[in-house]
Each structure stands twice: as structure tokens, then as C-alpha cells.
Amino acid sequence: MTNNLSTDNLTFECETGNYHTFCPISCVAWLYQKIEDSFFLVIGTKTCGYFLQNALGVMIFAEPRYAMAELEEGDISAQLNDYKELKRLCLEIKQDRNPSVIVWIGTCTTEIIKMDLEGMAPRLETEIGIPIVVARANGLDYAFTQGEDTVLAAMVHRCPTETLTENTKKHPSLVLFGSLPNTVANQLNMELKRHNIEVSGWLPSHRYLDLPHLGENVYVCGINPFLSRTATTLMRRKKCKLICAPFPIGPDGTRAWIEKISSVFGIIPQGLEEREQAIWESLEDYLQLVRGKSVFFMGDNLLEISLARFLISCGMIVYEIGIPYMDKRFQAAELALLETTCKKMNVPLPRIVEKPDNYHQIQRIRELQPDLAITGMAHANPLEARGINTKWSVEFTFAQIHGFTNARDILELITRPLRRNQALGTLGWSQLIKTDN
């Protein structure tokens, strides 16, 4: 039903794209943990390695299942043979770790020197006997979480084809895509099970060897807003049917998500409204803190639309939604829900700024003085020193935020700066810079 609403009233702008975000290769940080039998090899330079090492902090010391194939001058000038070099490294990885799959992450450098990773992978795969999946998660084309999108899109091709003998079920197969911690994936499975919807698989599963069966009769549904390439690949290459729903972030989003899936399978969900209501009631202590407060999303991880929609439901006012990339088709249902939510809560529609310019955004933040700015770590401390409350956006990608069960965790994050400042509120030193420049 939400699909019929147009999105004409939302305004979309596009700025210069000079904004801060993580490099998409950061997706190895959570994907290697999610896919337990994988090994991620990032083919890039010292710059990539330095980013991973600093961004992933402590994890590097736990003997991670990822590594850099660090390109040296000889590789760039083609004095060394790429194929032989990669073979040497992959054999080393096979010997030390024996993974079920090696994922090659192409970077800016491999793009520029046009290293033919997609061409080399199948040859090497047969030679060493381990599947090699190639994902081009580079900063030339993508931002932060889109890295996961490129990896999952590449994995779609490796999913086995659905066999028709499985057609004995109550409804067609449903495969959910998007990487979530196993706990959260279980929670969503169970949420659907209450309405007699059986999830037949996840992309990615927690083992590469358990990738879901895909095919013409399989319905797929995304759980994160940044998975548009994966969605396209599922539809075009595996002929899957995409269920375009809002994302299960916040109780409102989760309910809309379940409703949409149910409606596709002709199921009328029972007790869903009560369940949503109960969750909202349990959040009341946090809601009291956020009601009427204003938020500014600087934009860096593509979760912004869903989070903004949830926060508006919570009674907040959103001034601006910065977002690296806006796929209006994949997010259509989410955008529609954003619009109805704004109307329902009687707040103005926020402006959506694609490819934002951080410098201009900071000028706007200075003018608007929002109660909370959701921003990357590069700007958080400087904004705090100028008396603007901030929440690091990266935490939303690493925290558990999906489903009914975790709605509280989102608000826990959102309200943390507000609660902290309640505690420090009367001390009188919120501006901590000498001269504003």
C-alpha cells in the first residue's frame, strides 16, 4: 500500500561529493567475521593497509582472516607478473588457513592499472582448488557500506540454483540478503516465523559452503538500504523476484517490512500492530529524551534514510539527510514510508542531500544548531568542541539495529550524547575552543 505514494514532495539535492566516509574496503572488517570459512585478500597499497589497520583497531591482533596483497613498485610498472604473484600469495594463504573461499577485494590501484582480477580468478581457482570471488570495492566508485554490496553481488553468482523439488512449501522460497550478526539474523527469522513465513536462506550465510539456493521461483528481500547492486544482480542474473520493502530498522520499519513480505505471499499478519505498539511502549523512557529534538545527518553510510524515518517516528525533527548515494528505486518503499511518517508526525520533509559537501554542511550546522549531528569521526570532536552534540555514524553499522528486539539499541546510541550532556549540563563549559575559525 505504501508503494502507491509518490515521492514527488521529497526534495533531492546533489552537492560536490567532498565528504568524509570510510573506504569501502572496510567491509572486510565485518564480512570476514560473518563468513567464517572465508579469507579476504585486499589487493592494494600501503594506503589501504594503513586504513584497515587503523580503522579496525584491535581486531588486527586477533590473527584475522584477511590480509593485504601489498602492491610494490614492480607490480605497478608491470615488471612482475600479476598472475604469478597472486598465485604465490594465494597458495600461501591456502597452506596457512585453508579457507573455503578467497575473496579478492579490488582497490583503486587495481582499477587504475587495470589489473584483470575477474579474468585471473577463474584460472587460478582451478589451479589451486579454492573458489575465488572478486569484488571491486574501491573508493573511485563506492562509499563505505557499498563495499558489502559489491561483495554480495559477486557472491550471487556462486549461489547454487534452486531445485524444483522444493516446491512443497506453503509459500515460495524467501531468501534475505545483507550481512547481519547471526543473532540478529535469527531474530528476524523468528519474527517472520510468527507469521508462518519460512526463510529458506541468507546471503551471506555464516559459511560460504552454505550459500542459499536461488532461482526463478525465489523471492528475495533486502535488509539494508545499501544493497542495490546485490538486488539488481539477484533479479537480472538469477531471475529472483525482489520484494521492495522498507528496511527492518526501528519498530515501524520492521512492521512495514513484515507487512510487505506477508502481502506478497498473501498472508495477513496477526498481532503485528500490537507487537509494534508494545515495543514503542517499552521505549518510552528514551522517547521522552528525544521528542522535539532536531537531528542533522551528515551522511556517510547509506543507512541515513531509514534511521531518519525511525527518528521522525520517535518524534524528532530531521533537518537534513546527507547520503553518499541514493538509489531511488531500491529505496522506493523506504522513501515512501519516510514521507508518510513525516505527514503522520506533522513535521516538514527533510532535505535529502546526495554526495554532500562537508564544508557547506558545517556552515549549515552552524546556522541550524541542531540538537544532534550524526557524523563521521573526523568531525565529531571539532563539533563537540563547538557545543554541538554528535553521534558517530559508524557505530550504526557495527551495532545491532535491526528488528523489533534491537530498536532499543538504536535509541541507546542516539540518546547517549543527550544523556551524557544531561549529566554534565550545568557545568558551563560546552564551548571549548578559543577562537572560532
Partner 1 sequence: MKLAYWMYAGPAHIGTLRVASSFKNVHAIMHAPLGDDYFNVMRSMLERERDFTPVTASIVDRHVLARGSQEKVVENITQKDQQQKPDLIVLTPTCTSSILQEDLQNFVNRASLESNSDVILADVNHYRVNELQAADRTLEQIIRFSVEKARKNNVLNTEKTIKPSANILGIFTLGFHNQHDCRELKRLLNDLGISINEIVPEGGSIKNLKNLTKAWFNLVPYREVGLMAANYLQNEYSMPYVGITPMGIVDTANCIREISTIIKNQNPDIEFNTEKYIDQQTRFVSQAAWFSRSIDCQNLTGKKAVVFGDATHAASMTRILAREMGINVSCAGTYCKHDADWFREQVQGFCDQVLITDDHTQVADMISRIEPSAIFGTQMERHIGKRLDIPCGVISAPVHIQNFPLGYRPFLGYEGTNQIADLVYNSFTLGMEDHLLEIFGGHDTKEAITKSLSTESGCSWSPDGLAELKKIPGFVRGKVKRNTEKFARERNITEITVEIMYAAKEVIGA
Q: Is 221 annotated as a binding residue?
A: no
Closest separation in Å from C-beta 76 to partner 1: 6
C-beta of 239 vs 364, nearer to partner 1 = 364
Which one-letter amino acid corresponds to residue 142?
A: Y
Closest separation in Å from C-beta 60 to partner 1: 6
C-beta of 119 vs 160, nearer to partner 1 = 119
Closest separation in Å from C-beta 55 to partner 1: 7
How far apart are alpha carbons 143 and 129 in whole angstroms?
32
Q: How are beta strands 38-44 and 66-70 bridged, if at all?
A: parallel
Closest separation in Å from C-beta 319 to partner 1: 20
Out of 2, 38, 45, 150, the only residue in the binding site for partner 1 (CB under 8 A) is 45
- C-alpha separations of 268 from 191, 261, 282 in Å: 14, 10, 25
Binding region for partner 1 (CB under 8 A) out of 42-50, 159-167, 233-241, 419-427: 42-50
51 binds partner 1 (CB under 8 A): yes
Out of 3, 9, 11, 47, the only residue in the binding site for partner 1 (CB under 8 A) is 47
For 376, list phi and psi in degrees, rounded to 5.
-75, 170
Whether 206 contacts 34, CB under 8 Å: yes
C-beta of 224 vs 361, nearer to partner 1 = 361
Query: What is the H or E stretch that residue 297 is in?
Result: strand 294-297
Q: Find, among 19, 34, 42, the residue nearest to 137 by Cα.
A: 42
How far apart are alpha carbons 222 and 2 in whole angstroms?
17
93 binds partner 1 (CB under 8 A): yes
Q: Find, among 140, 301, 330, 168, the residue nearest to 235 by Cα.
A: 330
Q: Is 159 annotated as a binding residue?
A: no
Binding region for partner 1 (CB under 8 A) out of 13-21, 241-249, 253-261, 345-353: 13-21
Q: Find, among 245, 272, 251, the residue nearest to 314 by Cα.
A: 251
Number of residues written out for the chain: 437
How far apart are alpha carbons 63 and 201 in whole angstroms?
29
Identify residues 336-375 at the interface with partner 1 (CB under 8 A): 359, 362
Out of 28, 29, 68, 105, the only residue in the binding site for partner 1 (CB under 8 A) is 68
C-beta of 136 vs 238, nearer to partner 1 = 136
Binding region for partner 1 (CB under 8 A) out of 98-106, 152-160, 278-286, 342-350: 278-286
Angle (nearest 5°) at CA 316 between 340 and 149: 65
Task: Compose the 19-38 pattern: x for residues touching partner 1 by CB under 8 A, - for all others.
Answer: -xxxxxx-------------
Binding region for partner 1 (CB under 8 A) out of 15-23, 196-204, 236-244, 305-313: 15-23
144 binds partner 1 (CB under 8 A): yes
Identify residues 73-92 at the interface with partner 1 (CB under 8 A): 73, 75-76, 80, 85-86, 88-89, 92
55 binds partner 1 (CB under 8 A): yes
Closest separation in Å from C-beta 137 to partner 1: 10
DSSP string, 234-293: HHHHH-PEEE----SBHHHHHHHHHHHHHHHTT---SSHHHHHHHHHHHTHHHHHHHTT-
Q: Is 23 annotated as a binding residue?
A: yes
Closest separation in Å from C-beta 73 to partner 1: 4
My answer on whether omega of the bond before 204 falls inside 30° of 0, hence cis, is: yes
Identify residues 95-114 at the interface with partner 1 (CB under 8 A): 108-109, 111-113
How far apart are alpha carbons 49 and 8 in whole angstroms?
43
Identify residues 369-398 at the interface with partner 1 (CB under 8 A): 376-382, 385
How far apart are alpha carbons 68 and 79 in whole angstroms?
20
Out of 14, 190, 209, 345, the only residue in the binding site for partner 1 (CB under 8 A) is 190
The number of residues that bind partner 1 (CB under 8 A) is 73
39 binds partner 1 (CB under 8 A): no
327 binds partner 1 (CB under 8 A): no
Block residue for cell numbers 550459500 = 211
Cβ density class 41-64: b for 16+ within 10 Å, e for less = bbbbbeebbebbeebbeebeeeeb
Q: Quick count: other Cβ atoms within 10 Å of Cβ 67?
A: 18
**3-class DSSP state of 37:** coil
Whether 247 contacts 257, CB under 8 Å: yes
Query: First-to-last CA distance in the chain?
Result: 50
Out of 9, 98, 186, 196, the only residue in the binding site for partner 1 (CB under 8 A) is 186
Binding site residue list for [4Fe-4S] cluster: 23, 48, 108
